[in-house]
Amino acid sequence: MAAVCASRGWGDNVYATENQWLYHDGGGNWACLRFQDQGRAVLLGHDHEYSDTYFGAAAEYFDEEETNLLADAPEWWSLNLDPKPFGEWIGFIYGWDGRQWQRANYQVNDGFNSVGLLDACSVTDIETLAEFAADAPSLNGVTPDRKALIALVQADANVTDTLLESVVPGWDIAAGVAAARKFLDAR
């Protein structure tokens, strides 16, 4: 997804930095995976339509009871909870301890499923990727070849010019490949 977005000129939607992976759907929903030490990571984000949690400043701003997204969580989960660059509020926080994902125990919808991270980043399917790629000028709204999309996803961050060009012909292929490769450096 980073390769497709960056080749389109939307390099600020899905990208990697030295210690984090960032995703924004362009409509106000976002997620960020921040790598910690010893193989640990924290995933945080917000869906402005479906996050029914009110964490930190959001509880005060919206005059709602706070959802403790850090209840019983290890201290390292809270090391960097700045919602920037994408958001103002945090709707979910999950921690990876090197073996499993965990979250605090709360009963309201935190927005994780609706933020679209798994679909957009091709973990569960290629439909969202196909929709973004179909806007390539030379495709005239036609969905790219399914085999080409699958090959691009299977390449993971090792995207090549040829793989990307087969999905989004006519866009900035070099920018797309460079964006994908940054995911190899982040950890």
pLDDT range class, residue 187, cuts 50, 70, 90: low
Q: Are residues 105 and 43 in the same domain?
A: yes
Q: pLDDT at position 141, please?
A: 73
Q: pLDDT tens for residues 124-149?
A: 789 888 988 888 777 777 788 999 99
Higher model confidence: residue 17 or residue 125?
17
Quote the CA–CA distance of 106 and 61 in Å, as a whole number: 20
Q: Are residues 36 and 105 in the same domain?
A: yes
Mean pLDDT of 31-60: 94
Q: Are residues 107 and 30 in the same domain?
A: yes
User: Which residues, at least 6 apart from 3, have a Cβ–Cβ distance to it below 8 Å?
Assistant: 152, 159, 164, 176, 177, 179, 180
Q: Identify the domain boundary among 112, 133, 156.
A: 112
What's 64's DSSP letter? -
Q: How many domains does the chain have?
A: 2
- Side-chain-side CA neighbours of residue 106 (13 Å): 24
Q: Which domain holds residue 166?
A: 1-14+116-187
pLDDT range class, residue 27, cuts 50, 70, 90: confident
Task: Return the structure tokens found at 15.
Answer: 């990208």
Mean pLDDT of 3-7: 95
Q: pLDDT at position 140, please?
A: 73
Phi, psi values for residue 18, rounded to 5°: -55, -35
Please tell me the pTM assigned to this model: 0.90
Q: Identify the domain boundary among 88, 112, 136.
A: 112
What's 115's DSSP letter? G
Q: pLDDT at position 95, please?
A: 97
Q: Are residues 86 and 121 in the same domain?
A: no
Burial of 157 (0-12, 13-18, 19+ CB in 10 A): middle
pLDDT range class, residue 186, cuts 50, 70, 90: confident
Q: Are residues 42 and 90 in the same domain?
A: yes
Q: pLDDT tens for residues 65-124?
A: 999 999 999 999 998 899 999 989 999 999 999 999 999 999 999 999 999 888 887 777
What's 65's DSSP letter? P
pLDDT range class, residue 15, cuts 50, 70, 90: very high
Give, in order, the Cα–Cα distances in Å from 153 to each of 4, 106, 156.
11, 34, 5
Quote the CA–CA distance of 33 and 64 in Å, as a whole number: 27
Q: pLDDT at position 142, please?
A: 77
